[in-house]
């Protein structure tokens, strides 16, 4: 038989045990909601990735990223978009590239590689001032395309300014200020 003193201690601890159980159960439910969202996002991601047409795949990834900007697959989806842009650039489909890159830059203004493709597409369209702005932003955001952007920027800037690089530093400072906002 349990002494009365120990039974009263157990009764005093009972609310604490119940509270711990309730909190643990709620935490497990929150985890399962996050896991369920991840599974849903993953299934959608894989379905989009299986789309054969790169332009349609790009549109679907854009919609996915627009609807789910907090997905755990954000970096993967962004990387897929950049790969599509790279393929479109290599295929010299600049009109489609311009549309893709512009939408991506508007959605994710801190992803430097997108500015490279945006600048390259603008350059092919003959929009040199806008192209130089985009290339400068790519350069200042420090990413794998930064050096290529800097080279392209210098080449384009020289072509537009009679072989001179005077004023290029001001353009880069302006781009740095715009991307740091």
- Reference 58, options 90, 87, 92, 91; nearest CA is 87
Task: Confirm if 123 and 161 have CB atoms less than 8 A apart.
Answer: no
DSSP character string of the chain: ---HHHHHHHHHHHHHHHHHHHHHHHHHHHHHHHHHHHHHHHHHHHHHHT-S-HHHHHHHHHHHHHH-TT-TTHHHHHHHHHHHHHHHHHTT-HHHHHHHHHHHHHH-TT-HHHHHHHHHHHHHTT-HHHHHHHHHHHHHT-STTHHHHHHHHHHHHHHHTTT--TTHHHHHHHHHHHHT-
- What are the tens digits of pLDDT across the range 6-48? 656 655 666 666 666 666 666 555 667 888 899 999 999 999 9
- pLDDT tens per residue, range 129-180: 999 999 999 999 999 999 999 999 999 999 999 999 999 999 999 999 999 8
pLDDT score, position 32: 79
Q: Whole-angstrom Cα distance, residue 116 to residue 155?
A: 14
Output the pLDDT for position 181: 81
Over residues 70-94, mean pLDDT? 96
Q: What is the mean pLDDT of the chain?
A: 89
Given pLDDT bands bounded at 50, 70 and 90, which one contains residue 118? very high
Average pLDDT (44-73) is 95
Q: pTM of this prediction?
A: 0.79
The matching CATH number, chosen from 1.10.287.470, 3.30.930.10, 3.40.50.150, 1.25.40.10, for 32-179 is: 1.25.40.10
Asked if 116 contacts 145 with a C-beta cutoff of 8 angstroms, the reply is yes
């Amino acid at each position: 038989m349990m002494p009365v003193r120990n039974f009263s201690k157990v009764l005093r601890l009972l609310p604490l045990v119940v509270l711990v159980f309730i909190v643990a159960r709620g935490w497990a439910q929150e985890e399962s909601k996050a896991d369920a969202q991840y599974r849903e996002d993953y299934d959608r991601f894989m379905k989009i990735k299986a789309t054969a047409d790169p332009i349609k795949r790009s549109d679907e990834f854009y919609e996915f990223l627009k609807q789910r900007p907090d997905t755990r697959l954000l970096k993967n989806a962004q990387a897929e978009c950049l790969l599509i842009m790279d393929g479109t650039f290599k295929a010299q489909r600049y009109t489609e590239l311009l549309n893709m890159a512009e939408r991506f830059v508007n959605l994710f203004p801190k992803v430097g590689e997108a500015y490279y493709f945006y600048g390259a597409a603008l350059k092919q369209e003959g929009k040199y001032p806008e192209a130089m702005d985009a290339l400068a932003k790519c350069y200042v955001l420090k990413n794998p395309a930064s050096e290529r952007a800097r080279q392209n920027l210098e080449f384009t800037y020289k072509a537009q300014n009679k072989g001179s690089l005077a004023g290029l530093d001001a353009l880069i400072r302006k781009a740095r200020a715009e991307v740091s906002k």
